[in-house]
């Protein structure tokens, strides 16, 4: 028995005051309406309506059940209308901005599914490592790492990424390192954030113990993608955010080393102007990306994001 439909039929009978009028309003046969209410009463194990040849009367149980049904059916109708309205309004162009690496690793692979789900929406993506003036440039929503450039923005935590040290299996076996201090810095490939000459140090921490490795390999890059490619070619170990090596680790092309140690991390946020935060197209895009990331990788919703000063 379709209980929701049975509740709707029962409520219509109650409001119309007769089975025949309810059947007419629902475009159903009288026998169908009568059978539906009887099956509902049988399912509930109570009598909902007292019947005679002249009128219907709700029993005490029927009155209580009718009140509950009205609230439930009104909620279902509101949910259906809200869903239909949201779907109808998700049209136009959505301007999205993201850092180059996370855009390529997370955003671009997800976009085909998003576009298929929302055929009325177009997405204009700007990948840049130099974010600025989101509101002024008409960006609807952006992915920001650790900080935002303006205070008048709404930030929603999206992804809590952790650094991971990894390399090709044969390289890791060859090094035979038992402790971070055993690592040869010349076999460690460096990352130079924003193209600065200073390489990012590798941090190791566990149970009160800390260690730092300063990469000194003959290769360094300002791109996590380039580091991953170099590691897959066996050119050395790398330390990058887990987001950028998920497929390589899953396939076995790269393996993690010292994964019992903490290496720090970064938090990515979805950022938009306060005035457009509740826009339907922003909501469906935000919800879609949060589903792609999954709750296991989502940071605490209370996670704060800093505002970049003097930019």
H, E, C per residue of the chain:
CCHHHHHHHHHHHHHHCCHHHHHHHHCCCHHHHHHHHHHHHHHHCCCCEEECCCCEEECHHHHHHHHHHHHHHHHHHHHHHHHHHHHHHCCEEEEEEECHHHHHHHHHHHHHHHHHHCCCEEEEEEECCCCCCCCCCCCCEEEEECEECCCCEEEEEEEEEEEEEEECHHHHHHHCCCCHHHCCHHHECEECHHHCCCCCCEEEEECCEEEEECCCCCCEECCHHHHHHHHHCCCCEEEEEHHHHHHHHHHCCCEECCCCCECCEEEEEEEEEHHHCCCHHHHHHHHHHHHHHCHHHCCCCCCCCEECCCC
Q: Which CATH number fits domain 3-88: 1.10.10.10, 3.30.70.141, 3.40.640.10, 3.30.430.20?
A: 1.10.10.10
CB 94 within 8 A of CB 121: yes
Strand pairing report for 209-213 and 202-206: antiparallel
Strand pairing report for 190-191 and 220-221: parallel
Owner of token pair 């039929």: 9
Phi, psi for 22 (deg, rounded to 5): -65, -45
Residue partners of 78: CB distance under 8 A and separation at least 6: none
For 92-311, CATH number?
3.40.190.290
Q: Quick one: which of 225, 264, 195 has its CA closest to 103?
A: 225
pLDDT recorded at residue 311: 43
Cα 277 from Cα 282, distance rounded (Å): 7
pLDDT recorded at residue 290: 85
At 68-110, the pLDDT tens digits run 999 999 998 888 777 766 655 678 899 999 888 888 888 888 8
Q: Quick one: which of 119, 29, 27, 11 has its CA closest to 66?
A: 11
pLDDT recorded at residue 161: 86
Where exactly does CATH 1.10.10.10 map onto the chain?
A: 3-88
pLDDT recorded at residue 8: 92
Where exactly does CATH 3.40.190.290 map onto the chain?
A: 92-311
Strand pairing report for 306-307 and 190-191: unpaired
pLDDT recorded at residue 128: 86
Which residue ranges of the chain lie beneath pLDDT 50?
A: 301-302, 306, 309-311
First to last CA, the chain: 64
Q: Is the dihedral of CA 52, 58, 61, 65 positive or negative?
A: positive
């Amino acid at each position: 028995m379709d209980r929701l439909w049975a509740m709707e039929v029962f409520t219509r009978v109650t409001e119309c005051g007769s089975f025949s009028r309810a059947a007419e309003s629902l475009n159903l046969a009288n026998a169908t309406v009568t059978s539906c209410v009887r099956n509902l009463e049988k399912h509930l194990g109570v009598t909902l309506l007292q019947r005679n040849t002249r009128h219907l009367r709700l029993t005490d149980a029927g009155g209580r059940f009718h009140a509950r049904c009205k609230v439930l059916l009104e909620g279902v109708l509101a949910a259906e209308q809200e869903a239909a309205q949201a779907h109808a309004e998700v049209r136009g162009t959505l301007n999205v901005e993201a850092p180059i690496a996370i855009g390529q690793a997370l955003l671009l692979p997800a976009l085909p599914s998003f576009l298929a789900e929302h055929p009325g929406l177009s997405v204009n993506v700007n990948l840049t490592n130099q974010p600025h003036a989101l509101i002024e440039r008409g960006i609807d929503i952006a992915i920001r790492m650790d900080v935002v450039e303006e205070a008048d923005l709404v930030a929603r935590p999206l992804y809590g990424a952790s650094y991971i040290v990894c390399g090709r299996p044969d390289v890791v076996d060859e090094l035979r390192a038992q402790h971070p201090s055993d690592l040869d810095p010349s076999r460690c490939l460096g990352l130079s954030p924003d193209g600065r000459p200073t390489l990012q140090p590798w941090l190791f921490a566990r149970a009160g113990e800390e260690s730092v490795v300063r990469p000194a390999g003959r290769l360094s890059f300002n791109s996590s993608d380039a580091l991953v490619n170099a590691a897959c070619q066996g050119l050395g170990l790398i330390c990058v955010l887990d987001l950028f090596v998920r497929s390589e680790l899953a396939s076995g092309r790269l393996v993690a080393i010292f994964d019992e140690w903490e290496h720090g991390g970064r938090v990515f946020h979805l950022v938009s102007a306060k005035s457009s935060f509740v826009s339907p197209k922003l909501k469906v895009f935000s919800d879609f990306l949060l589903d792609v990331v999954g709750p296991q990788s989502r940071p605490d919703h209370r996670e704060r994001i800093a505002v970049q000063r003097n930019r």
